[in-house]
Structure 1
C-alpha cells in the first residue's frame, strides 16, 4: 500500500494492519487471529450441540459465537448493580439470544412464520424487532441450534455475522422497490453484498463491528448519519439516480455523525465501493484499544478528503464523480407507519409495536393475516416497526383492525410511534436497568395524560451507556444507571439526554447537569417537560430545537 497515512510512533501504536505489524495487541485480537470465527459453526453442529453448554470453551462461548448471531443470555435474578462486578461466567445463563439476519428488513410471510414457529418451540415465545431490521429471539439452548439453523436455511434465512467484529445486517429502505417517490431501489446492491461478502473470510476479522445502510428513499429512512457506511439516494444532474456516500458514523460513548465524502456512486458500483470502505476499515482501523476501534475514530483522525483519496487510489483504482448532497425531508418521520400508496396502486400498512416487542405467536398470526389479505411480503424497519405490503386499498381498514388485536397499531400516538428501547437487563449481560417494560409503561401513561402532543416526540430507552437505542439522537434519551438510595437499596435511574435528533437539524442531545430521574418517576418527568415545551414553543419549533434553547430549570 502507498504511504497515505502518517504512521504512528511506537508509543502511539494503533494496531492497524496497514502499519505492517499484525501482532495482536489485546485479547479480542488474539482470539480472532488464533482461529477465524466463522469456523465455530461446525464445532457448534458437531460438538457443542451434542455435548451441551458445559462443553463450550470461553473463547468460543463469549467470542466466536457472536459471528453466528449468538450471545450468551443474562442469568435471571442478577441486578444491575452486579453487571460490572461479576465475572462473565457468573453472568451467563445457559441460554442464548439469537439474532436472525434479514438484510434490508426483507421477509416473506413464509420466513416470518418460520421465525415465529422457532420462537414458540425453542424460545419461550420471545421475539423483538431490533432497530437494525432483524428479529432477536431468547431462551435458545445450544442443543437446538442446528435444528433452528436448518429451519431458517430452508426458507433462505440465517444468523451468520449478525453479531461480532464483522459486517452486520445491512439496513435498507423497508419500502424499496414499491414507494412511488423512490429515487433508486437499492435492493440489488444489498443482495450482491450479502451474497458475495457475508460469511467470507475476506471481512470476517474487522477491528470492530461494521454497520451498513443503503436506501434510495427520499425519506432518508435508514439513519445514515450514524452508520459506518451509508449510501443515500440522490439525483445527479448529469448522471441520473444514484447514491451519496457517507462514512464514519456511530453513537455509544463517543457519538459522531458520519461524514459526506462528496462522492456519487451509481447503483452498480455500490458493492465495490462498499468493499473498498470496509477494506479500509479492516486494514487501517485501530486494533489496539477496543474503545477506539470503530471506523468513526479513523475518520475523525484523517478526515473525509483523505479517506476518499485512499478509497479511490488504493481500493477502487478509479475516481468517483462529485455528487449533490441529498435533500432532507422536513416532516421528521422516517418510519413509514400508517397506510401509504405503492407505485402499483396497492398500499402498505406500517404498524408500531411498542419498542419492537412482539412474540413468536404474533409473528405467526401476522403471516397468516397477511396471506389472507393477499400479501406475501413483510418488512421490518430501522425504527422497530413492522410493515405489511401489497394490500388492496379497500381492504386496509379491515386489516388495520385485525392487526390492532395483536398490539400492532397503524395509527399510533406520537409516543408509541417514536419510542425505541434496547434489550435491557431482562436478557442483556451489559444491562443495568429494565427497558422494554419501562418503555411500555411510559408510553401508556403519556397517552393517557398528554394526548395533545402533535409533533414527533422520540423517547429512547437504553439499559446501559452503549446507545443501542440511540440515546443521543432522541428527543428524550434515557441512559440506564443504578445507584444506592437513602436506605442503601439499589435503584434504577436514568440519566436524561434532551434534544437529540437526525434529519434537517441533526444534533446530539443536551445533557443537563446532574439530571437523573428514578425509573418510576419517568412518566411524571416526561409529562412535565413535554408540557413546558407545548407552552413555550414558537410556531413550527421542534422539541429538539426548544430543548437546546430552553432554560435548564425548564428541563428539570
Structure 2
C-alpha cells in the first residue's frame, strides 16, 4: 500500500498550540502531587475522589479505570500508537472504545496514572471532562468533514464547544453530568435526541447553515426523548444560546436528589414552553456580541484541522467495481462498511470492532498499531472512533479498498457487519463496573456467535442490538431496536428484553420492556425466536424496527416466552 500525501497540518485532528500543551503539562504535575499525597496517606479516598474524577480516573471492581478523552472521536495515527503503548505497558494489552467516543483502560495502577497522563499530554491528549458533573466529551458525526450529505463540518463546532467548556467557571460543578452531541447533517448519526443537548445542522430557506437544537434527552433509569427547543439557531449564536441553556440548568436543576438532577427532569418539571422562555430570557439579556462566533474565528479553527491533499480519482471507481464483481465477500463488506464521501473516488470506511465471539469495542495494542499504520497509508494519518464502538478511516481511495479489506480480515478487523445484529453495542458490565448488576460481555459474545453467519445477517437486514449491565444504560439499551438490560433477580444475574427503540431515525423512540427477566442462555434463545418471528411476519423490504412498530410487541413477546 502506498502512502497517501499529507497536508502540512495533521489532517482531521485539531493541532494544539503551546498554550494547550503548557496547560496539560501543568495539569499532569498537579495530579502527580495529588496521587503522591493519596499514596502517602495525606489524602483520604474521600478527599481524593473528586480530584481523580476530574482527571478521568475511576475506582472499579478490580482496579482503577482511566477514561481517556478522544474529543469528537478524532485522533491521529501518533495518538493511536500512544494508546497502544499505554495498553501494552500499563494495562492488559487492550483498550475499550466507549459510546462517548472515548477509550477506557480497565487495569490501571494508581501509581502509574501520572506517567500515563504525561504520555497522553506529549501526544496532545488528556482525560479531562471524562467524568464529574461537568460538560463531558462532546461527541460528533463519525463522518465529519467527509460525508456527502454534510451541511457543515461538526468537528469545527465540537472543538469550539470543547474550548468553551473546558474549565468553564460556571459549568465545572453542574447539578449532574452533561452531554452534548452534534451532527453535521440532517441525518442523525449521533443520537442527538438522547442527549442533554443535541445539535443537528440543516440549511434554512436561504441556504444558510443553521442548527436544530434538542434539549432534555437521555437514557438511564428515566429514558426521555429530547424536545426541539428551536430549529433555526444561526451558527454565530451557538455559544451564546448553549450558555443560556446551561445557565438555566445550573440555576434551577435539582441538587438534592442525584436521580432527579439531569436537565431532562428540569425540562419535564417546568414544561417545554416555560423552559424555552427562561432560556430565551437569558439569551436576550446576554452580551451577545461577546459570544458571537465571528467568521474569522470559525475559519481559524477550521484551518487548524488541515485539508486532505486528495489524489486524482483516476480509474479508482471502475477498479472497485471490477473487484466487487470478482469477490462476493468483499462486495458485501463494501456495501456494509463504507459510506459515501464528498470527494469523487473516495469513501469513508467503518472498521468493525465486533468480530464473532469478540468483546464489543475492545481492541488490542497490536490492532491499534495496525490501525495507525493503515491510517498513515490510506487516510492521511487520521482516524475516528464512533459512538457505536467502531473505528473509521475517513478518506480512503476506492481502488485501495480491496487491499485494506484483506489486511483487516487477516487481523480480526474485517467483519462485514456494520449496522447488523452482530454489530452489538455493550458496556463493560459486571466484569469491571462496580455499578453493574450483570455481565454484558458474555451475552454479547454468545449473541454475536449465534448470528455470525453473513447470509443470516443479510437476511435479517439492518438491526441495532444494545446491551447494558445496569439501569444506568451505558450500553444505550433503550435506544436499540432490541435492547438487553442486566438486572439482579434474587441474587442472580438476569436480563430483560426491550423492543422498539431507535436513535437514528426521523421517529426516535424508547424501547419497551416486554416481560420478566430471564437467564443469559434463555435470553439468547428468546432473541433468536424474536428474530424468527420477524422473518416470518415482515412485509417485503420491511426492516425490523418497522415490523415491530407495525405489529406492536405482543407477537414478539409471545415468541420470546414460548415454552421450550
TM over 0.5: yes
Number of equivalent positions: 478
Does the Cα contact within 8 Å between 2:422 and 2:448 map onto a contact in 1? no
1:223-277 deviation per Cα after TM superposition (whole angstroms, max 9, x unaligned): 0110000111111103611211110000111110100012412223222222222
* Alpha-carbon distance between aligned partners in 2 of 1:452 and 1:390, rounded to the nearest angstrom: 26
- Please list, as runs of the form range in 1=range in 2, the aligned pairs for 1:299-448 lying within 5 A after superposition: 299-317=267-285, 338-345=337-344, 346-354=346-354, 355-373=360-378, 375-409=380-414, 411-412=416-417, 415=420, 418-448=423-453
Helix, strand or coil at the partner of 1:242: strand
- Per-residue deviation, 1:197: 2.0
Does the Cα contact within 8 Å between 2:210 and 2:231 map onto a contact in 1? no
1:66-124 deviation per Cα after TM superposition (whole angstroms, max 9, x unaligned): 2211110213xxxxxxxxxxxxxxxxxxx311111112111111111111111111112
Closer, same or farther in 2 for the Cα pair 1:47/1:290, shift >3 Å?
closer
Helix, strand or coil at the partner of 1:379: strand
What is the Cα-based RMSD across aligned positions, in Å? 2.5
TM-score (norm 2): 0.79
TM-score (norm 1): 0.81
Match of 1:289 among 249, 257, 262: 257
Match of 2:489 among 483, 487, 495: 483
Helix, strand or coil at the partner of 2:104: strand
* Alpha-carbon distance between aligned partners in 1 of 2:202 and 2:50, rounded to the nearest angstrom: 39
Closer, same or farther in 2 for the Cα pair 1:51/1:259, shift >3 Å?
closer
1:162 aligns with 2:112: no
Does the Cα contact within 8 Å between 1:547 and 1:555 map onto a contact in 2? no
Does the Cα contact within 8 Å between 1:40 and 1:64 map onto a contact in 2? no
Does the Cα contact within 8 Å between 1:482 and 1:491 map onto a contact in 2? yes
Helix, strand or coil at the partner of 1:447: coil
Does the Cα contact within 8 Å between 2:526 and 2:560 map onto a contact in 1? no
> Residue in 2 aligned with 1:69?
56
Q: Whose strand fraction is larger, Structure 1's or Structure 2's?
A: 1
- Per-residue deviation, 1:291: 0.3
1:462 aligns with 2:463: no
- Per-residue deviation, 1:53: 8.1
Match of 1:214 among 158, 177, 182: 182
* Alpha-carbon distance between aligned partners in 1 of 2:97 and 2:243, rounded to the nearest angstrom: 28
* Alpha-carbon distance between aligned partners in 2 of 1:437 and 1:69, rounded to the nearest angstrom: 26
Does the Cα contact within 8 Å between 2:38 and 2:48 map onto a contact in 1? no
1:448-492 deviation per Cα after TM superposition (whole angstroms, max 9, x unaligned): 4944533222221111111111111212211112335xxxxx642
* Alpha-carbon distance between aligned partners in 1 of 2:502 and 2:71, rounded to the nearest angstrom: 25
Helix, strand or coil at the partner of 2:129: coil
* Alpha-carbon distance between aligned partners in 2 of 1:155 and 1:113, rounded to the nearest angstrom: 9
Closer, same or farther in 2 for the Cα pair 1:319/1:509, shift >3 Å?
farther
* Alpha-carbon distance between aligned partners in 2 of 1:520 and 1:61, rounded to the nearest angstrom: 41
> Residue in 1 aligned with 2:522?
521
- Please list, as runs of the form range in 1=range in 2, the aligned pairs for 1:72-111 lying within 5 A after superposition: 72-75=59-62, 95-111=63-79
> Residue in 1 aligned with 2:12?
none
> Residue in 2 aligned with 1:85?
none
* Alpha-carbon distance between aligned partners in 2 of 1:240 and 1:349, rounded to the nearest angstrom: 29
* Alpha-carbon distance between aligned partners in 2 of 1:518 and 1:146, rounded to the nearest angstrom: 42
* Alpha-carbon distance between aligned partners in 1 of 2:67 and 2:337, rounded to the nearest angstrom: 27
> Residue in 1 aligned with 2:165?
197
Closer, same or farther in 2 for the Cα pair 1:396/1:545, shift >3 Å?
closer
1:554 aligns with 2:559: yes
* Alpha-carbon distance between aligned partners in 1 of 2:410 and 2:395, rounded to the nearest angstrom: 20
- Per-residue deviation, 1:513: 3.2
Closer, same or farther in 2 for the Cα pair 1:372/1:413, shift >3 Å?
closer
* Alpha-carbon distance between aligned partners in 1 of 2:386 and 2:87, rounded to the nearest angstrom: 20
Closer, same or farther in 2 for the Cα pair 1:266/1:69, shift >3 Å?
same
Match of 1:510 among 497, 505, 512: 512
> Residue in 1 aligned with 2:194?
226
Does the Cα contact within 8 Å between 2:430 and 2:436 map onto a contact in 1? yes
- Per-residue deviation, 1:414: 5.1
Does the Cα contact within 8 Å between 1:118 and 1:148 map onto a contact in 2? yes
> Residue in 2 aligned with 1:150?
118
Closer, same or farther in 2 for the Cα pair 1:374/1:510, shift >3 Å?
closer
Does the Cα contact within 8 Å between 1:337 and 1:349 map onto a contact in 2? no
Closer, same or farther in 2 for the Cα pair 1:153/1:391, shift >3 Å?
same
* Alpha-carbon distance between aligned partners in 1 of 2:418 and 2:170, rounded to the nearest angstrom: 45
